[in-house]
Amino acid sequence: MRDSDFALRRLHSLLGIIPIGLFLTQHLIINHFATQGVEAFNTASDFMGNLPFVLWLEWIVIYIPLMFHAFFGLYIAFTAKPNTNRYGTYRNWMFSLQRITGVFLVIFIAWHIWQTRIQKALGADVDFDMMADILANPFMIAFYVVGVISATFHFANGFWSFLVTWGITQSPRSQRISTYVMMGLFLALSVIGIRAIFAFV
Amino acid sequence: MAETAVKERNEATAAKTVQFKIQRQDSPDSSPYWETFNVPYRQNMNVISALMEIRRNPVNSEGKQTSPIQWEMNCLEEVCGACSMVINGRPRQSCTALVDQLTQPITLEPMRTFPVVRDLVVDREVMFDSLKKVKAWVPIDGTYDLGEGPRMPERKRQWAYELSKCMTCGVCLEACPNVNDKTNFIGPALISQVRLFNSHPTGAMNRDERLDALMQDGGLAECGNSQNCVVACPKGIPLTTSIAAMNRAASVYSFKRFFGSDHMVD
């Protein structure tokens, strides 16, 4: 870590919002096409899957930032000593939940990439039926619901700390207001994500 | 009448005892153990007066003679920070911990974020080393008289005074989930001290040096925003505001340092 620690942690904070947070938002919104039927979802998914330079886009916008954020995040999570039993405050719970959801998301996202993107690389078609097959299993529905809610929580709460980390929200009042804004973001993204999951069921 | 009242009160309190459960440790390397004590109740007693009573008569609740408990104290009015310990699960000063306000048995433990010397005595030297690292002072030494420094606006002095109340007691480090043996995070108090000295008109002439130190390994970036420090601070110092303020200063400064600037200290 040494002297580069500051730069690495700031990079970790930035990458969580740009591009990962933006990609998550985009991903959940595209998924929402599933609520308009099989045809609408397949059109959207074909459009996304056939973008020009799609492999470059995937590596630069998704895989490299996501891997750095995930592995450096694991280091951050496992060097903390959560103490919510001593201080049961809202912020201390958010601190612990941010780390718990982060670790869970590493597992969830790895599984999700295996089930979709890697299967595509092995020759499967990414379409409505692929997700419908996956979500035919009730255990998978639960896994995906928890995964999506963890992701929206981790993004919204991470956005709150991003604003503090970069010195944008400084006073207690500004931090309180951003808490409410991020609660709204969490709820909105969760509704979009959950609606999409149940459109496949 | 008054005499009868005093007599009645003394009789009522004479029978009362206060139970203390104290975590002890004989040397820095030995393992800790618990010992309980029943201390005769007196009106308005604090944790320190109870520890003094145990020192006067070191007999534990089983009636066995034992060694007196070691702890540190100095000012007895919550301005020095020496008597900090974990009381009923929370780090605070034992001088202002009033027995009447605590649930019994009252548990006392050393602040294990720091190396334990003996019983409740811990070594807070890591904090003093960190103060040196971040240059928490105003350098004025020279070979000739530099004259008066720039004036400080009165209203700025008033809020800076709040930051200067920090007594390096270590309670915020004990409360912080990111200050532990797996990290070398210097802790919230030190970040707030940089803000104090960087806002001093003469101290600001070296603000870049302190920001450089804060951006080293174990510095500012290790904060995880659990915000326990501001809840725990006995002096009510706005530690999380200081951290966010230093985050902003470090954001601007890191760009200046990377791209180069003629405005490193203004």
In chain B, domain spans: 2-122, 125-259
Q: Does the pLDDT of residue A127 top 90, yes or no? A: yes
Are A5 and B220 in contact (CB < 8 Å)? no
CA distance B24 to B117: 10
Residue B41 neighbours by CB distance under 10 Å: 17
B246 chain-A contacts, CB cut-off 8 A? 167
Q: SS3 for A112? A: helix
The whole-number average pLDDT for the span B182-202 is 96
- pLDDT for the residue B140: 86
Residue A78 pLDDT > 80: yes
Structure tokens at B123: 């070594």
CATH number at residue A131: 1.20.1300.10
B4: pLDDT strictly greater than 90: no
Scanning chain A, the segments in alpha helix (DSSP H) are: 5-15, 22-31, 38-49, 54-57, 64-78, 90-113, 119-121, 128-134, 138-165, 172-199
Nearest to B241 among A83, A95, A172 (CB): A172
Cβ–Cβ under 8 Å, residues B191 and B246: yes
Question: Domain total for chain A?
Answer: 1
Q: State percent of chain A over pLDDT 90.
A: 97
CB contact under 8 A, B182 and A79: yes
B24, β-bridge pairs: B33
* CA B96-B97-B101 angle, 5° bins: 125
Dist. CA B229–CA B91, nearest whole Å:
11
Provide the β-strand partners of residue B12: none
Mean pLDDT on B177-200: 97
User: Distance between CA atoms of A156 and A136, rounded to whole angstroms?
Assistant: 29
| Contact between residue B187 and residue B139 where contact means Cβ atoms under 8 Å apart | no
At B29-69, the pLDDT tens digits run 999 999 999 999 999 999 999 999 999 999 999 999 999 99
pLDDT for position A3: 66
Contact list, B241 vs chain A (CB under 8 Å): 170-172
Contact with chain A for residue B257, Cβ under 8 A: no
Chain B partners of A3 at a C-beta cutoff of 8 Å?
Answer: 216-217
State the CATH architecture for B2-122: Roll (3.10)
CB atoms within 10 A of CB B154: 7
What pLDDT band is residue B12 in, cutting at 50, 70 and 90? Answer: low
Using an 8 Å CB-CB cutoff, list chain B residues near A91. Answer: 225-228
CATH class assigned to B125-259: mainly alpha
Is residue B13's pLDDT more than 70? no
Question: Are B28 and B115 contacting, i.e. CB atoms less than 8 angstroms apart?
Answer: yes
The interface predicted TM-score of the complex, written ipTM, equals 0.94
Residues 73-92 of B with CB under 8 A from A: 89-90
Q: How far is it, in rounded angstroms, from Cα B75 to Cα A114? A: 63
Q: Using CA atoms, how far apart are residues A63 and A15, in angstroms rounded to an integer?
A: 11
Cβ contact, residue pair B222, A161, below 8 Å: no
Could you say which of B180, B224, B244 has the minimum Cβ distance to residue A170?
B244
CA distance B104 to B151: 52
CA distances to A86, B192, B196, B242 from B161, in Å: 30, 12, 9, 13
* Bridge pairing between strands B106-109 and B17-24: parallel
Please give the residue range of the domain that contains residue A89.
2-199
**Residue B142 pLDDT:** 84
Q: Is residue B70 a contact partner of residue B24, using CB atoms and an 8 Å limit?
A: no
Q: Say whether A32 counts as a known binding-site residue.
A: no
CA torsion through residues A156, A161, A162, A164, sign: positive
Residue B108: closest CA among B98, B96, B119? B119
How close A138 comes to chain B (CA, Å)? 36
State whether B225 and A87 contact (CB < 8 Å).
no
**Out of A89, A94, A161, closest to residue B231 by CB:** A89
User: Do residues A190 and A149 touch, judged by C-beta distance below 8 A?
Assistant: yes
B46: β partners: B98
- Decide if pLDDT at A1 tops 60: no
- B95 touches B78 (CB < 8 A): yes
The answer to whether residue A37 scores a pLDDT higher than 60 is yes
Distance from chain centroid for Cα A29: 13
Whether residue B23 contacts residue B106, with contact meaning beta carbons closer than 8 Å, is answered with no
d(CA A65, CA A68): 5
**Shortest CA gap A93–chain B (Å):** 8
Q: How does pLDDT run across B59-108, given as a tens digit for each residue?
A: 999 999 999 999 999 999 999 999 999 999 999 999 999 999 999 999 99
Which helix (H) or strand (E) segment is B109 a member of? strand B106-109
Per-residue pLDDT, B111 = 98
Closest to A159 measured CA to CA, from A173, A171, A148, A169: A169
**pLDDT category of residue B266 using cuts at 50, 70 and 90:** confident
Shortest Cα–Cα distance, B26 to chain A (Å): 26
